[in-house]
Amino acid sequence: MITSNETQEPKTTAGDDLKITQSEYVDMLYELENQPLGWRTTADKEMDYADGNQLDTELLRAQKALGIPPAMEDLIGPALEAIRGFEVATRTDWRVTPNGQPGGQDVADAINFKLNEAERQSKADRACSEAFRPQIGVGLGWVEVSRESDPFKYPYRCRAIHRNEIHWDMSSRSTDPEEWRFLRRQRWLHPSRLERVFPKHKDLLRQYGKHGATWWATGELDMTGGMGTNLRNAWNEARAWTVAEDRLYNPATKEVCISELWYRRWVDVGVLHSPDGRVVEYDDKNELHNRALATGLVKYSRAVVTRVRRAYWLGPHLLDDSPSPYSHRHFPYVPFFGFTEDNTGVPFGYVRGLIYQQDTLNSGSAKLRWGMSAVRTERTKGAVAMTDAQFRRTVGRIDADIILDPEATRGRRHHAGRRLPQAHARRAGPQLPHGTADSSREHASALRPGRRAGRCATGSREHQPGVPARAPAGRHRLGWHRDTAHL
């Protein structure tokens, strides 16, 4: 994005009318603000699902309010990884093939050697793989293809860029960057680093590093005289700026938000057409062009073409504006589009159609597990010698010990039991106590497979002489049973 060799003066003249003005930049900002809203937030949520962050959803929060614990079984992440694995398995090296001209194969082999070297050294495959994941997930990934600023590294680099750093001209309704009027990338950097790149604006950057976007209102600057011209102009620009300032300065890290703006200008130029089909722009300072035109070897015509330029903005302050440092007419950021909406052009991917299924699975699993462990109780008030909160915490335990109120139960001795499922009953069978035949039949009846497992009742009493065999209905009754949720 920013290279160390950009500290030199721009290659444009003082009367260059292709430079962008502040009013044009403000119009671009307002246009970006009026683009389809909400899709970036939706994309962030969808990538959270792909990353496994699925528990903070409205459905699970509603279940939590009912006491249902959360559960997650990730399906989206493995699905995306399977698609990425297919991309890696089918990936091939970049290759140049000849078009049938004599000696074309030798030229293609030489180009392939340099191209494959650049592919490996610039880490292009890794950048494409990293951009492929958000492409299939949310419909958009980015890769930067530029020159490396560090002279000790390979001259070219390819890096994956997060989608939220880049905004583009969505009014074109096209996924081809050649149709876009502008592209903006925002990045947070420390002012000390920017001072090395833009030494002309070091005073402005230092003020930004201290006070943020409202540096002009701090009162530290003497406007009566003695202040540099560049800083005085910056003071007037900042005072008249009307765009929101909270997105330009981070007081926690002292970083500022710098915008790299790539935009196109349309100019009328002369074009030379050679007999072999080549088309070049006419340069009146090139003697070869003038000679070919004078001898009739080429044909001359006029055409409207684009010029790609790059500008750096810090809020309302234009730090640099110059022609593109590359010989081509492309933006150095390559989009990886998945699917786009027909009406708005908003990108989307496979995750959009999987969120409902993922939420259904997570909520269903949570409700199922909660239903297998939840306990429903029915009791008469005052039947237990504990508070309601203690009773609710205790009743769901397998080894629950429920203490009954002796006064409320009129001295009757009660017991609580829990019938085991069939598998547990078979395991516990050999360990049953050996006693009388009546005792054996009682245990066998308790573990009989035909009975409903997971249902127990407290409130039964042992028969004692002088006590009625059945207590009056509706008095001191305590019972509970386990319900399993069916989805």
Task: Choose from 96-110, 250-264, 418-432 the range with maximum mean pLDDT.
Answer: 250-264
Classify residue 7 by its DSSP letter: G
Give 265: exposed, middle or buried? Use CB within 10 Å, 0-12, 13-18, 19+.
Answer: middle
Answer whether residue 241 shows pLDDT above 60.
no
Give the side-chain half-sphere CA count within 13 A for 322.
12
Least confident stretch, 51-55, 120-124, 287-291: 51-55
Give mean pLDDT, residues 113-133: 93
**pLDDT of the residue at 461:** 37
154, 155, 161, 166: CA torsion to nearest 10: 170
pLDDT for 394:
82
Quote the pLDDT of residue 288: 92
| Residue pointed to by tokens 């939840």 | 374
d(C-alpha 442, C-alpha 23), whole Å: 92
pLDDT attached to residue 214: 58
- Only one residue has tokens 């002292």, namely 254
Which pLDDT band, with edges at 50, 70 and 90, does 2 fall under? low
- Is the CB of residue 277 less than 8 Å from the CB of residue 222? no
The per-residue pLDDT for 487 is: 31
Q: Where do the H-state alpha helices sit in 9-140?
A: 22-33, 39-50, 58-65, 76-89, 104-121, 124-138
Amino acid identity at 364 = G
Q: Over the stretch 323-369, which tens digit does the pLDDT of each residue have? A: 999 989 999 999 999 999 998 899 999 999 999 999 889 888 888 88
